[in-house]
Amino acid sequence: MNDYSTDSNLERETPASSILENELESLYRVSQVLSRSLNFRETLSEVLNVLDENGDMHHGMIALQDEDSGDLLVTALHAGPASYRPVRYKAGEGVVGTILENSQPIAIRRISEEDRFLDRLGVYDWDLPFIGVPIRIGDQTAGVLAAQPSRYVTRLSEHERFLQMVANLVGQSVRLARKVEDEQRELKKERDSLRRKMRGEHGFSNMVGRTRAMRTIFDQVRQVAKWNTTVLVRGQSGTGKELIANAIHYNSPRANGPFIKLNCAALPDTLLESELFGHEKGAFTGAVSQRKGRFEQAHGGTIFLDEIGEITPAFQAKLLRVLQEGEFERVGGSRTLKVDVRVVAATNKNLEGEVREGSFREDLYYRLNVMPIHMPALRERIEDVPELARFLIAKIGKNQGRELNVDDAALRALMQHDWPGNVRELENCLERAAIMSEAGKIGAREIDMAGVHTAPPSGNPGATAGAAPYPIAAAEPRPDLDDPNLDERERVIAALEQAGWVQAKAARLLGMTPRQIGYRIQTLNIEMKQI
């Protein structure tokens, strides 16, 4: 039982109003401290400092329960040595352990009169009182808050009640901090899992090809991934340029950093500048808040700029500065920002010709073309088609939740096609063939139904020496975009087909902006194809 009898040697009359005022001020300041940060040691030390300065509670100590061992570990100590050895209490051990075990407060009028007091911290005055209260989270005791009132106390029970109120505030803060800590731990585990998955999906094992050209590319990617060198991936649409960019990032020292992608052909200059560099609040109509651009988002990682050859000369100068100096300003801002970003760009254009014609800056060309990687068209590595087909069929089967197989007749048919859409066209063809196959067996019939038609061969450039004379898919005549008999929907679809379903290219064929053709695709209810 706690002893609250009067001791004239320890007490002096203090106005009750003054005590209440100090306690209310202390509670207010404690609540402010706890609302500022979730840093355990920093915040709890500040709480003990408030108790010392305003609450007449000295040598404050907070011990929290270790979730693994169940022991109390001293987390914060006020007015003790600058560094102290870790102190722990088991349940029932000493006064502090007894508070943990019984989940009840203990108030001692003079420490020297309490045999259970262990004094492991060595900071307490043995002639002064000692109060310890449990820190509760719901029905569980999560720790102990203890302190020494000054020699002149009027009512020890009131000090105990005040310390319990502080412990309740601390308990809520500990509960919230632990919840945030658990969520952060789960997010970290999920992040690490996703990183491992991304590395697996974009590792070298997913880069298929045995031809000499592809082996050279794999060697180039392995070497360039180690460094921060700017890479320009070149090749036709659908050859796998983005796959190369992924492999470079996820096999580089920047793999734990962000990987940010942007298709430069999808946006006009005004939107492209805001998208890449960000904007300040009020920079233009609709800019209701500050927004970070893709370069800021990619800080510490890699940015992939696809279709880099589509940007206008006016914007090329702005891009050149950030590539050279790593500096830029947000749209509507004056503060210069500096970022650490590795750039991987891609294009299917003949940039050398663009430089000669003056439509692409020579200095930007040399800044981008530090390490060029040329992706061959699929018809130039037709020997890789069987391996690619098996790899893609396995991927499609996984997405469909069933096992798919492609037979030799189907592979021979695939090897006779010219593949103007390259690997992307091959994947789409196989997906259509898989849809046509109820049993999961893909043969020449399913390949024919998927659009790879057979006809007598006439000099197939993609056929390998000694291959059987399988026919090549007959090319359909392209409609004239200026034909007055075409309605608007037919004209837009024809342009998209001629452009390989790349909106920016189709827009140029029609004399439109990417935004205008995007609006027509939406209003005319045109289903976009991914080739």
Q: Tens of pLDDT along 439-486?
A: 899 998 899 888 876 444 434 444 333 333 333 333 445 667 777 677
Q: CA-to-CA distance for 520 and 502, rounded, in angstroms?
A: 14
The residues near 468 (Cβ < 8 Å, ≥ 6 apart) are 412
User: What's the total number of domains in the chain?
Assistant: 4
Give the pairing of strands 342-347 and 302-306: parallel
Residue 465 maps to a domain = no
In a domain, 245, yes or no: yes
193 found inside a domain: no
Q: Tell whether the model's pLDDT for residue 232 goes beyond 90.
A: yes
Of 137-146, 309-318, 381-390, 495-504, where does mean pLDDT reach its minimum?
495-504
- Pick from 134, 160, 136, 130: which is nearest to 145 by CA? 134
Using DSSP's 3-state secondary structure scheme, residue 107 falls into: strand
Judge if 94 and 224 occupy the same domain: no
What integer best gives the mean pLDDT of the chain? Answer: 83
309 in the same domain as 175:
no
Q: Starting at the earlier edge strand, list the strands of the sheet with 88-89.
A: 88-89, 72-77, 57-65, 140-149, 130-137, 106-108
Residue 249, domain member (yes or no): yes
Distance CA 259, CA 396 (A): 25
Q: What is the pLDDT of residues 394-438, one digit of tens each?
A: 999 999 999 999 999 999 999 988 898 999 999 999 999 999 998
CA distances from 303 to 164, 234, 257, 482 (A): 54, 16, 10, 39
Which residues fall within 8 angstroms of residue 13, CB to CB, at 6 or more apart?
Answer: 154
The first and second tokens of residue 171, run together, are 């308990």
Instruction: Identify whether 111 is part of a domain.
Output: yes
First-to-last alpha carbon distance for the chain, in angstroms, is 82
Are 124 and 107 in contact by the 8 Å Cβ rule? The answer is no
Residue 7 within a domain: no
213 lies in some domain? yes
CATH of the domain at 353: 3.40.50.300
> Taking each helix axis from N to C terminus, what angle separates 156-201 and 241-250, rounded to the nearest 10 degrees?
130
Residues 302 and 391 in one domain: no
Q: Say if residue 365 is in the same domain as residue 387.
A: no
Tell me: pLDDT of 2 over 50: no
Q: Are residues 355 and 273 in the same domain?
A: yes
> Residue 441 belongs to a domain with what CATH number?
1.10.8.60
Contacts with 366 (C-beta within 8 Å, 6 or more apart), sequence order: none
Asked if 350 and 413 sit in the same domain, the reply is no
State how far the alpha carbon of 105 is from the alpha carbons of 80, 282, 488, 525, in Å.
Answer: 23, 57, 82, 72
**Same structural domain, 136 and 165:** yes
Q: Is 255 left (phi over 0), alpha (psi -120 to 50) or beta?
A: alpha
Boundary of a domain, candidates 146, 180, 214: 180
Three-class HEC string of 16-77 = HHHHHHHHHHHHHHHHHHHHHCCCHHHHHHHHHHHHHHHCCEEEEEEEEECCCCCCEEEEEE
**Is the model more confident about 284 or about 321?**
321
> Which residues, at least 6 apart from 209, have a Cβ–Cβ distance to it below 8 Å?
215, 217, 218, 381, 384, 387, 388
Domain CATH code at residue 491: 1.10.10.60
What's CA 312's distance to the chain center, in Å? 31
Q: 28 and 167: one domain?
A: yes
Q: How far apart are CA 198 and CA 201, in angstroms?
A: 5
What domain range is 48 assigned to?
16-180
Over residues 291-304, mean pLDDT: 94
Question: Model-level pTM greater than 0.85?
Answer: no
**Co-location of 390 and 366 in the same domain:** no
Task: Considering only residues 50 and 524, tell me which one the structure prediction assigns the higher pLDDT.
Answer: 50
> Last residue of a domain, which of 324, 339, 374?
374
73 with 143, same domain: the answer is yes
Question: pLDDT by residue (tens digit) across 266-283?
Answer: 888 878 988 999 988 887
Among the candidates 130, 145, 180, a domain finishes at 180
Beta strands 342-347; 371-374: pairing state: unpaired
Same domain, 363 and 307: yes
CATH of the domain at 33: 3.30.450.40
Cα distances (angstroms) measured from residue 209 to each of 55, 232, 395, 424: 74, 20, 16, 15
Question: Using an 8 Å Cβ cutoff, are 343 and 295 in contact?
Answer: no
DSSP string for 279-340: E-TTSSTT--S-EE-HHHHTTTSEEEEETGGGS-HHHHHHHHHHHHHSEEE-BT--SEEE--
Contact present, 55 and 28 (Cβ < 8 Å): no
Residues 314-320, mean pLDDT to the nearest whole number: 90
Indicate whether 23 and 170 sit together in one domain. Answer: yes
Q: What is the pLDDT of residues 385-396, one digit of tens each?
A: 999 999 999 999
**Per-residue model confidence (pLDDT) at position 460:** 41
CA dist., res. 457 & res. 249, Å (int) = 42
Is 359 a domain residue?
yes
